[in-house]
Amino acid sequence: MIVNLEKLKQGRNEFQVEYGEKELDLTKVDFTLLGKVRAHLLFFKSRTNVKLSIELTYRLRMTCSRCLEEFERDFNEKSTYYLKQGQEEYREEKHLTDEDIFTLYYAVEEIDVTPLVREMVILSVPMKPLCREDCKGLCPVCGANLNYENCGHTQEKVDPRLLKLKELKDLLGKS
Ligand SMILES: [Zn+2]
Ligand SMILES: [Zn+2]
């Protein structure tokens, strides 16, 4: 979606937009967009400065980095951009409170929101997605999914403090 900043009225300008997988160019990524990304765009114009708040809701299917099972999760992402007229078109990133604040300088009077939405979606996906916090992963010996079965190959979980003690015992046992 391309918005002409010159044409926005002073104050609030709101839009509801939906983006599909193809529009956002999310076909060659390692997650799947389920349905559409619903975007709420709020442009707040004050003279020539524009504050753009984007709120997105969407659902993704990802692959767990430990057990390799697919799982789905809902996302709700918010970002704020300050649009200032200028020569350069670059981005300055600042982290304030819990929202990501960006300042975009626009050389032209129009802004394409689609790449911003795409970036927000991509950045929301964890580097190592987990189906759940305590996913047990796959057995390194037989590949069994340890969330569902106990193949008997894995050692019992050892408390790191006990491990130290065990190392010490082994050491003493050797001497
Ligand atoms: Zn998992
Ligand atoms: Zn096993």
| DSSP states of 70-107 | EEEEEEEEEEEEEEEE-S---EEEEEETTEEEEEEEES
Do 84 and 163 lie in one domain? The reply is no
Q: Between β-strands 99-106 and 70-85, what pairing exists: parallel, antiparallel or unpaired?
A: parallel
Q: Give the distance (Å) from ligand 1 centre to CA of residue 55.
A: 28
Show the domain range for 175.
136-175
Q: Are 19 and 39 in contact (CB under 8 A)?
A: yes
Do 64 and 99 lie in one domain? The reply is yes
- How far apart are the C-alpha atoms of 118 and 116, rounded to whole Å? 5
Query: Per the domain annotation, does 131 fall within a domain?
Result: no
Query: Per the domain annotation, does 129 fall within a domain?
Result: no
Q: Give the distance (Å) from ligand 2 centre to CA of residue 139.
A: 5
In the structure, ligand 1 is a single-atom ion and the residues with CB under 5 Å from it are: 64, 66-67, 131, 135
Do 50 and 101 lie in one domain? The reply is yes
Per mean pLDDT, which range of 3-12, 16-25, 103-112, 123-132 is the poorest? 103-112
Query: Per the domain annotation, does 130 fall within a domain?
Result: no
Q: Give the distance (Å) from ligand 2 centre to CA of residue 97.
A: 45
Do 82 and 6 lie in one domain? The reply is yes
pLDDT at 26 over 70: yes
Helix (H) / strand (E) element for 16: namely: strand 11-19
User: What's the domain count of the chain?
Assistant: 2
Query: Per the domain annotation, does 98 fall within a domain?
Result: yes
Do 169 and 107 lie in one domain? The reply is no
Do 22 and 101 lie in one domain? The reply is yes
Q: How many CB atoms lie under 10 A from the CB of residue 16?
A: 8
Q: How far apart are the first and last CA of the chain?
A: 73
Which pLDDT tens digit goes with each residue over 92-151?
A: 555 555 555 676 666 667 889 999 999 999 999 999 999 999 999 999 999 999 999 999
Do 141 and 96 lie in one domain? The reply is no
Which pLDDT tens digit goes with each residue over 46-82?
A: 887 889 999 999 999 999 999 999 999 999 999 998 8
Residue with tokens 């765009």: 41
Query: Per the domain annotation, does 47 fall within a domain?
Result: yes
State the pTM of this model.
Answer: 0.75
Q: Are 68 and 83 in contact (CB under 8 A)?
A: no
Output the CA–CA distances (angstroms, integers) from residue 147 to 136, 138, 151, in the order listed: 6, 8, 11
Q: Give the distance (Å) from ligand 1 centre to CA of residue 63.
A: 8
Q: Give the distance (Å) from ligand 2 centre to CA of residue 155.
A: 10
Per-residue confidence (pLDDT) for residue 19, from 0 to 100: 97
Q: Which residues contact 68 (CB under 8 A, 6 or more apart)?
A: 138
Q: Are 137 and 128 in contact (CB under 8 A)?
A: no
- How far apart are the C-alpha atoms of 139 and 133, rounded to whole Å? 17
